[in-house]
Structure 1
Amino acid sequence: MKLHKAERHQVKLRIGLSSPSGFGKTYSSLLLAYGITNDWSKIAVIDTENKSASLYSHLGDFNILSLEESFSPERYIQAIKLCEDSDMEVIIIDSISHEWQGKGGCLEIHELLGGRFQDWSKVTPRHNSFIDSIIQSKCHIITTSRRKVDYSLDKDGDGKTKVMKLGTKEITREGLEYELTVNFELLNDKHLASASKDRTGLFMDKPEFIINSNTGKKLINWCNQGKSVEKIKQEINSCDSLEGLKQIYTEHPTLSTELYPIIMLRKEILENASAQLIDNNEIIQNINIQANEFSIK
């Protein structure tokens, strides 16, 4: 346990867009992605919405990965990994609702296991792995999700039970919003949006607006402030001592998960180099000893 100075690092964006069908989630996410990367060829859409992203192919030469049934967490993870390995900069997951409520999604997996409360112990780790693949991705991630009307049963003053409309609710497991940089809700078919969660301070408590490429530019400018993670990785790869590696690691505790595997790889290289140097010195010493013995004889 140790106190450390607060330090701002460059981050990868985690953005959510949600709305009922027909409010423009796919179109808005594409404009947002283009504003972030300024290169259509570096954008990939994981499309679970019956190839709806193809309707906007006129915007630019972005990439599409059509994800058919079943919508298990593992298939989403595999799709994200494929996009990462293809050097995409922005991945749009359109939508994540199928991972939760679609054919082969978490709710169906739970039902097939028996639908008991204890069966969630087998489903939750699989869903959490999907969320981790979003949080830990090296790419900027935009997720879209459907919304449905949410109700509750309440009693009125006469004691009668009444169905009360609470508004709309995202079709996914609760909790993802806490991991997002910004969470936008599209409010109507005019594509007006507002931010329900905003770590950037760019959109919270601001008037409703229409998402476009400038929205993405604002976000990428915000996330590029601070010390570059890539620069820290370069420092690790050029470090020539174990003590130096330890110092770099302790200086950036908020990046410990991301930096740990790189630190360990560099540590192994330095240890192997040190062991090789010791072996070489021993060989040289043996040669010198043998040479001295030969000269004596």
Structure 2
Amino acid sequence: MKLHKAQRNQVKLRLGLSGASGFGKTYSALILAYGITDDWSKIAIIDTENGSASLYSHLGGYNVLTLTEPYTPERYIQAIETCELSNIEVIIIDSITHEWNGKGGCLEIHESLGGRFSDWAKVSPRHQTFIDKILNSSCHIITTVRRKIDYSLDVNSNGKTQVIKHGTKEVTREGFEYELTVNFELINDKHLVKTSKDRTGLFSESPEFIISTQTGKKLIEWCNSGISIEDVKLEIKQAESLEDLKVIYEKYPSLKKSTHPLIMERKNELENIHSQVLSKEEVIQPIKTEENGISNKQ
């Protein structure tokens, strides 16, 4: 156990978009993703919403992976891994609600096991593996979540009474929002959002607004403002001694988990180089001795 100075590392974004049906989750997620990447070909959307992702194909040439039932955690994980292997930069999961409350999702799995409280011991680890996959992905990830719909009678500016649709509780396992970098809640069908969670501090004091590509640009700038793991990898690769590696390892304490395998790999390389140099010296030394002997005899 050891204290160390806090360090700000570059991170992959974990963004949430929640709202009632028709509030613009898919469209907002795509605009946000394009702001992050500035390249439609680097965006993939995992579509569980009956082809809704393709409705916005006029925006650009993004990629679509259609995910149908059963919506098990494992199938979601497989879909994420497919995107990762395709060198995608931003993955939109539209939506994660099905993993929890869809056909073959966690609630249905729990019911099929008997619906007892004790049966969650078999379901919860599977759900957590799905959450861990989102958190540990090599890509930026945007998740959309449905909200239960409620209605109210409001009086508009003209004095007329109208029915207003509201999104209430998110339809996924409670607590997911706490895992996110930022969570945007779409509050009406005009695509207006408010921020319900913000680790960046970029939107905490902001009034309600409409997501644009500029929103994504702000987020990626914040994301890239810390220590780059790529720069640290290069530093490790250029290390010329075990002492250099030790200095690098202690220099970035918050990255120790990520850098340890790379440190060990470079350590083995340096030790192999050292062994090869010693072997050459052992061969050269007898030759020099023999040459000296020949010279003495002469």
Check whether TM > 0.5: yes
**Distance (Å, rounded) in 2 between the aligned partners of 1:89 and 1:138:** 8
**Distance (Å, rounded) in 2 between the aligned partners of 1:86 and 1:44:** 9
Q: Could you say which residue in structure 1 is the equivalent of 2:256?
A: 256
The 3-state SS of whatever aligns with 1:7 is coil
**Distance (Å, rounded) in 1 between the aligned partners of 2:72 and 2:286:** 62
Describe the superposition over 1:242-284 as per-residue Cα deviations: whole angstroms up to 9, x where unpaired. Answer: 3322332232232233323333332333333334444444444
Letter of the 1:272 partner, please give it: N
- How many pairs are equivalent? 282
**Distance (Å, rounded) in 2 between the aligned partners of 1:117 and 1:267:** 49
- Structure 1 residues not aligned, in runs of 5+: 151-166
What pairs up with 1:99-118 in 2 under 5 angstroms? 99-118=99-118
**Distance (Å, rounded) in 2 between the aligned partners of 1:235 and 1:107:** 47
Describe the superposition over 1:113-138 as per-residue Cα deviations: whole angstroms up to 9, x where unpaired. Answer: 33222322222222222112111112
Q: Could you say which residue in structure 1 is the equivalent of 2:222?
A: 222
**Distance (Å, rounded) in 2 between the aligned partners of 1:183 and 1:8:** 21
**Distance (Å, rounded) in 1 between the aligned partners of 2:16 and 2:52:** 18
**Distance (Å, rounded) in 2 between the aligned partners of 1:132 and 1:258:** 16
Across the aligned residues of Structure 1 and Structure 2, the Cα RMSD in angstroms comes to 2.5
**Distance (Å, rounded) in 2 between the aligned partners of 1:215 and 1:12:** 16
Structure 1 position 218, deviation (Å): 1.1
Describe the superposition over 1:43-80 as per-residue Cα deviations: whole angstroms up to 9, x where unpaired. Answer: 11111111111000000000111111121112211211
Identity of aligned residues (%): 67
Describe the superposition over 1:128-171 as per-residue Cα deviations: whole angstroms up to 9, x where unpaired. Answer: 22112111112111111111259xxxxxxxxxxxxxxxx72211
Q: Could you say which residue in structure 2 is the equivalent of 1:17?
A: 17
What pairs up with 1:8-157 in 2 under 5 angstroms? 8-148=8-148
Q: Could you say which residue in structure 2 is the equivalent of 1:178?
A: 178
**Distance (Å, rounded) in 1 between the aligned partners of 2:33 and 2:181:** 14
Mean Cα deviation higher: 101-110 or 205-214: 101-110
Letter of the 2:97 partner, please give it: S
**Distance (Å, rounded) in 1 between the aligned partners of 2:225 and 2:65:** 31
Describe the superposition over 1:1-51 as per-residue Cα deviations: whole angstroms up to 9, x where unpaired. Answer: 222122222221110000111110000000000011111111111111111
Structure 1 position 106, deviation (Å): 1.8
The 3-state SS of whatever aligns with 2:220 is helix
Structure 1 position 291, deviation (Å): 7.7
Q: Could you say which residue in structure 1 is the equivalent of 2:206?
A: 206
Structure 1 position 89, deviation (Å): 1.1
TM-score for both structures, normalised by structure 2: 0.85
TM-score for both structures, normalised by structure 1: 0.86
Mean Cα deviation higher: 139-148 or 110-119: 110-119
Letter of the 2:83 partner, please give it: C
Q: Could you say which residue in structure 2 is the equivalent of 1:192?
A: 192
What pairs up with 1:242-281 in 2 under 5 angstroms? 242-281=242-281
- Structure 2 residues not aligned, in runs of 5+: 151-166
